C-alpha cells in the first residue's frame, strides 16, 4: 500500500528575480473547512529545488504515516512552496545573535544551533517576506513549516510556525521533531521536559498537558478520567524521580513531577510523552487534546462502517469510510486498534482508487486467502469520467488497489444504478458477485462476474429474463438475496418482487457456476404465508443443514405482526413456523429491525431484533433458533455504558473470535461500541466517542 499525495501545480510569479511556486500535495476539502499546512524552504537555490522537494516529500510521508497524524490526515490540506534563494544555505549567528556567516536567502532566516536561542530564529526581513509569499499563494494558511537548508539539528515552533533544518529531516528523518512541534501548534500543548530543578509557584498553566493541581478529582479535561483510582496522585515527586515499577512510560497516566522546563511544582501526564522526548507516542491526555482540536476540520464519523475479518485472525474487524478516507481497525476481542488509514488514494501495481463520499463498499474475500477484502463502486461522483469499480485487497495491515475499472467491466457497461450482490457462485472459495441493474435501461440486466483473485471475469449476462426465457421476468423493484439454498457450495439467489405486478412473487434461482436457472417461483403465497408489499426477507441457514433458509417479517400490512420461518429443501421451501404478534421472549412491533446472526456458535442463523420507537424505551433482543422454533430474550435502554437509541446502526460480526458467536458493532455518527454475545444477552466491552483509539485506561469505560 502506498499513500499518494496529489501533485496539482499552480505557479505564481512573486518577483521579477524570484519565481515562487505552490504545489498542492494533499487536498481534503475547501481551504475554509480544513487546516491548511504550508511547507516552504529557505536557503534553497534553483539548483537545490529538487533536493528540497525530496526532503518535503519524505517529511510529509513520514509524519502523516505516524501516530495520530496518520489517523487525522483528513483534517489537513498540504501545500509546498518553492522559494528560490540567491545563495545556498542560511545565515548563521552566534550565542549573542551576531552574524557569523551571511547568506542571501528568500526568507532571511538565521541558524544558531543553540537550544537557548531555539536553534534558529527569523531575521529582520523574515516576517515581511514570509507574509508576502503566504498571502499571495495560500492566503488561508493555518500552519507553516519552514525547512532551512542547514545540515545541523534543530526545530523551533511558535505562532503557528515551525522552523526545522534539512539536517533534522535527513537524520530523523524529521518527522518526530515535526510531530512534537505540531503538538505545540495544533494542540497548544506545552513541553514536558525539565531544564532545572527549580520550584514553580506560579499560576496554573493553560496547556492541557501540564498542571500544578494534585487533586485527582479536579484534574483538567479528560486527564482525571485517564488516571486509575489505584494509581497514586502525585505518582512521582521530586526532580528526576523514578517512575513506579510496571508503568507503561507513554500510555499510563498519572501525575509525574517535572514539566515545562521546571523540575518541581509542575506535573505531566506520563513518564515520557512525545511532548517530552519527541519519539514516544502522544500520551492519552495529549492525544485526546490533539483529536479534540482537529475534530471541527475532519469528515470523520462512524456512519459508513463495514464489518469483516480483514486481518485473517478469526476476529471481526472494522473498515471505516469517511470523506475521502478509508481506515482499518483490528479487533483484539475486546478493543479496536488502528492499523491503517488511506487519505485520498490507495495504490499498487499501477492501479489506484481515489476515495470520495459517494463510494459504496462490499465486503468479500475475492482471492480466497481468508482475509476479507473490499469491492468498491462509485457511480455518482465522476460525471462523464465514471462510473468506477475497484478491487481493494487486504494485506492484513491495510488495503491495496489491485484492479480498477473505468466505465466498463468485462461484458458490462457500468451505470449509477448498478447493485452488487456478493457471493461465491462457482464454489471455488473466492467471492464473486452478481451485478444487477433494473432501473437505468429499458432492458433489465443481471450479470455474473467471477473473481480470479486479481480481476473480475465476465461469465454470463441475462437480459429481462432470468434463469430461463420467460420464467423470472425481471422488473425494476426486484429484490435479490444471496444464499446457497441447495448446499452445493455455490451461492444461489432468492428473488422477490412485491410491487411491479398484480401478483406478488418470490423465486429461487440456482447457480451452476457458469449460469443460473430459475427452479421455483411462488405466486402470492409462501408456505403458511400470504405475501404483501412490506414483506422483509432474511436469508440464512436457521436449521444448520447447510442450506440457506428464509425468515419473512411483516410489521405493517397486518395486525398483528408476523414472522415466518420457511426452510429450503434444496429446490423448494417448506413451512417450519409462523409467529403471530408474539415470539416467546419478544412481542413484535411494526418498527422491529432484524439482523441475521449465529449468536451461540451452533451453526444455526438466529436473529438480533431491535426496536427504538414502539415502546417506552429502546429494546435490543436475541431470537435463538433451534432449527424449528425461536426463543427470545431482551435488554432495555442501556447495555453497559451504551444508551440504545433510534440513530444506532448495527453490524453483525464475530469480533471475539474462537467460539464463533456473532457479536455486534453498534454505532451512530459520533459513537462506536462493541456488544459481545453471551448467547442470551449482550455485554458492552468497548465504547468510543468521536474517534477510535486503544487507551490503557479510561474511568468511564470509553476507549
The pLDDT score that the predictor gives to residue 157 is 82
Bridge pairing between strands 573-580 and 419-423: unpaired
- Other Cβ atoms less than 10 A from the Cβ of 537: the count is 18
Decide if pLDDT at 4 tops 50.
no
Pairwise CA distance, residues 244 & 228, whole Å: 14
Bridge pairing between strands 671-677 and 682-689: antiparallel
The mean per-residue pLDDT over the stretch 497-517 comes to: 97
The pLDDT score that the predictor gives to residue 604 is 98
- The three-state secondary structure class of 176 is helix
Decide if pLDDT at 17 tops 80.
no
Tell me the percentage of the chain whose pLDDT exceeds 70: 96
Cβ–Cβ < 8 Å for 145, 38? yes
Bridge pairing between strands 155-158 and 120-121: unpaired
Pairwise CA distance, residues 478 & 499, whole Å: 8
The runs of H, that is alpha helices, within 163-273 are 166-171, 175-185, 223-226
Tens digits of residue pLDDT in 244-264: 999 999 999 999 999 999 999
Tens digits of residue pLDDT in 526-562: 999 999 999 999 999 999 999 999 999 999 999 999 9
Q: What is the mean pLDDT of the chain?
A: 93
Tens digits of residue pLDDT in 64-122: 888 899 999 999 999 999 999 999 999 999 999 999 999 999 999 999 999 889 999 99
- The three-state secondary structure class of 22 is strand
Report the half-sphere exposure of 538 (CA within 13 A, side-chain side): 18
The mean per-residue pLDDT over the stretch 459-464 comes to: 97
Of 331 and 346, more confident: 331
Bridge pairing between strands 317-322 and 304-308: antiparallel
Domain coordinates in residue numbering, the chain: 21-187, 190-281
The pLDDT score that the predictor gives to residue 169 is 53
Please tell me the pTM assigned to this model: 0.93
The pLDDT score that the predictor gives to residue 154 is 84
The pLDDT score that the predictor gives to residue 351 is 81
The pLDDT score that the predictor gives to residue 471 is 87
Cβ–Cβ < 8 Å for 284, 269? yes
Residue positions counted in the chain: 703
Question: What does the H/E/C string look like for 207-235?
Answer: CCCCECCCCHHHCCCCHHHHCCCCCCCCC
The pLDDT score that the predictor gives to residue 12 is 39
Cell of 228: 486509575
Regarding the domain delimited by 21-187, which CATH topology (the fold level of the hierarchy) does it fall under?
Collagenase (Catalytic Domain) (3.40.390)
The pLDDT score that the predictor gives to residue 348 is 54
The pLDDT score that the predictor gives to residue 449 is 98
List, in order, residues 6 or more apart from 267 with CB less than 8 Å away.
Answer: 210, 211, 212, 213, 214, 234, 255, 256, 257, 258, 259
- Burial of residue 47, with CB atoms counted within 10 A of its CB: 0-12 exposed, 13-18 middle, 19 or more buried: exposed
| Residue tagged 498542571 (cell numbers) | 211
The mean per-residue pLDDT over the stretch 328-345 comes to: 92
- The three-state secondary structure class of 613 is coil
Tens digits of residue pLDDT in 181-207: 899 999 999 999 999 999 999 999 999
Residue 447: strand pairing partners: 435, 461
Decide if pLDDT at 343 tops 90.
no
The pLDDT score that the predictor gives to residue 349 is 53
Question: What does the H/E/C string look like for 89-149?
Answer: CCEEECCCCCEEECCCCCCCCEECCCHHHCCEECCCCHHHHHHHHHHHHCCCCCEEEEEEC
Q: Which of 367, 445, 360 is nearest to 403 (CA)?
A: 367
Of 470 and 648, more confident: 648
Pairwise CA distance, residues 77 & 68, whole Å: 16
Work out the widest C-alpha separation in the chain, in whole angstroms: 95
Q: How far apart are the first and last CA of the chain?
A: 27
Q: Which of 546, 478, 482 is nearest to 510 (CA)?
A: 482
Question: Could you write out the DSSP letters of every residue in 302-315?
Answer: SSEEEEE-SSSSSS
Tens digits of residue pLDDT in 367-390: 999 999 999 999 998 777 889 999
Residue 686: strand pairing partners: 674
List, in order, residues 6 or more apart from 342 with CB less than 8 Å away.
Answer: 1, 3, 325, 326, 327, 355, 398, 399
Amino acid at each position: 500500500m502506498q499513500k499518494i499525495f496529489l501533485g496539482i501545480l499552480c505557479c505564481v510569479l512573486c518577483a521579477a528575480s524570484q519565481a515562487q511556486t505552490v504545489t498542492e500535495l494533499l487536498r481534503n476539502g475547501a481551504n475554509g473547512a480544513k487546516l491548511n499546512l504550508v511547507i516552504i524552504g529557505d536557503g534553497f537555490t534553483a539548483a537545490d529545488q529538487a533536493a528540497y522537494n525530496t526532503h518535503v516529500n519524505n517529511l510529509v510521508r513520514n509524519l502523516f504515516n505516524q501516530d495520530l497524524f496518520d489517523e487525522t490526515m483528513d483534517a489537513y490540506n498540504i501545500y509546498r512552496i518553492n522559494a528560490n534563494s540567491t545563495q545556498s544555505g542560511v545565515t548563521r549567528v552566534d550565542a549573542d545573535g551576531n552574524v557569523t556567516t551571511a547568506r542571501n536567502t528568500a526568507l532571511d532566516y538565521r541558524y544558531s544551533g543553540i537550544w537557548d536561542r531555539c536553534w534558529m530564529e527569523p531575521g529582520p526581513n523574515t516576517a515581511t517576506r514570509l507574509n508576502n509569499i503566504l498571502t499571495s499563494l495560500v492566503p488561508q494558511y493555518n500552519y507553516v513549516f519552514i525547512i532551512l537548508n542547514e545540515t545541523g539539528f534543530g526545530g523551533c515552533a511558535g505562532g503557528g510556525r515551525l522552523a526545522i533544518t534539512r539536517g533534522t529531516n535527513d537524520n530523523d528523518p524529521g518527522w518526530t521533531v515535526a510531530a512534537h512541534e505540531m503538538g505545540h501548534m495544533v494542540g497548544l500543548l506545552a513541553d514536558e521536559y525539565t531544564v532545572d530543578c527549580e520550584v514553580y509557584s506560579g499560576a496554573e498553566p493553560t496547556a492541557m498537558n501540564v498542571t500544578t493541581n494534585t487533586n485527582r478529582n479536579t484534574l483538567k479535561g479528560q486527564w482525571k478520567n485517564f488516571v486509575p483510582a489505584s494509581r497514586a496522585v502525585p505518582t512521582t515527586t521530586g526532580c528526576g524521580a523514578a517512575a513506579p515499577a510496571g508503568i507503561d512510560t507513554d500510555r499510563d497516566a498519572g501525575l509525574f513531577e517535572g514539566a515545562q522546563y521546571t523540575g518541581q511544582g509542575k506535573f505531566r501526564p506520563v513518564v515520557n510523552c512525545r511532548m517530552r522526548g519527541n519519539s514516544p507516542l502522544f500520551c492519552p491526555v495529549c492525544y485526546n487534546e490533539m483529536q479534540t482540536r482537529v475534530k471541527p476540520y475532519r469528515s470523520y464519523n462512524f456512519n459508513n462502517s463495514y464489518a469483516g475479518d480483514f486481518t485473517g485472525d478469526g476476529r471481526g474487524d472494522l473498515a471505516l469510510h469517511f470523506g475521502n478516507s478509508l481506515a482499518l481497525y483490528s479487533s483484539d476481542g475486546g478493543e479496536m486498534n488502528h492499523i491503517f488509514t488511506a487519505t485520498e488514494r490507495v495504490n499498487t501495481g499501477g492501479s489506484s482508487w481515489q476515495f470520495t463520499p459517494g463510494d459504496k463498499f462490499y465486503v468479500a474475500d475475492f482471492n480466497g486467502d481468508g482475509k476479507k477484502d473490499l469491492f468498491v463502486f462509485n457511480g455518482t461522483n465522476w460525471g462523464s469520467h465514471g462510473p468506477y469499480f475497484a478491487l481493494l485487497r487486504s494485506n492484513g495491515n491495510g488495503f491495496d488497489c489491485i484492479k480498477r475499472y473505468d466505465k466498463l467491466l468485462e461484458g458490462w457497461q457500468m451505470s449509477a444504478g448498478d447493485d452488487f450482490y456478493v457471493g461465491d457462485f462457482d464454489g471455488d472459495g473466492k467471492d464473486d458477485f452478481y451485478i444487477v441493474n433494473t432501473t437505468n435501461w429499458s432492458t433489465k440486466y443481471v450479470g455474473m462476474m467471477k473473481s480470479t483473485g486479481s480481476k473480475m471475469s465476465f461469465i454470463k449476462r441475462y437480459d429481462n429474463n432470468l434463469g430461463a426465457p420467460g420464467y423470472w421476468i425481471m422488473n425494476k423493484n426486484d429484490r435479490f438475496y444471496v444464499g446457497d439454498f441447495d448446499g452445493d457450495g455455490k451461492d444461489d439467489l432468492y428473488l422477490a418482487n412485491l410491487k411491479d405486478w398484480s401478483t406478488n412473487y418470490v423465486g429461487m434461482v440456482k447457480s451452476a457456476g457458469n449460469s443460473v436457472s430459475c427452479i421455483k417461483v411462488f405466486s402470492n403465497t409462501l408456505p403458511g404465508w400470504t405475501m404483501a408489499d412490506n414483506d422483509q426477507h432474511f436469508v440464512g441457514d436457521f436449521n444448520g443443514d447447510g442450506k440457506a433458509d428464509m425468515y419473512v417479517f411483516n410489521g405493517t400490512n397486518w395486525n398483528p405482526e408476523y414472522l415466518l420461518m420457511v426452510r429450503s429443501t434444496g429446490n423448494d421451501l417448506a413451512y417450519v413456523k409462523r409467529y403471530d404478534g408474539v415470539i416467546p421472549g419478544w412481542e413484535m412491533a411494526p418498527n422491529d429491525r432484524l439482523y441475521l446472526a449465529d449468536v451461540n456458535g451452533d451453526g444455526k442463523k438466529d436473529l438480533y431484533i431491535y426496536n427504538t420507537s414502539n415502546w417506552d424505551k429502546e429494546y435490543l433482543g436475541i431470537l435463538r433458533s433451534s432449527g424449528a422454533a425461536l426463543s427470545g430474550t431482551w435488554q432495555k435502554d442501556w447495555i453497559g455504558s451504551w444508551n440504545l437509541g433510534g440513530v444506532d446502526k448495527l453490524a453483525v460480526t464475530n469480533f471475539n473470535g474462537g467460539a464463533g458467536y456473532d457479536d455486534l458493532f453498534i454505532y451512530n455518527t459520533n459513537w462506536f461500541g462493541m456488544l459481545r454475545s453471551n448467547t442470551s444477552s449482550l455485554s458492552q466491552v468497548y465504547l468510543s466517542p468521536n474517534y477510535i483509539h486503544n487507551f490503557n485506561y479510561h474511568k468511564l469505560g470509553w476507549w
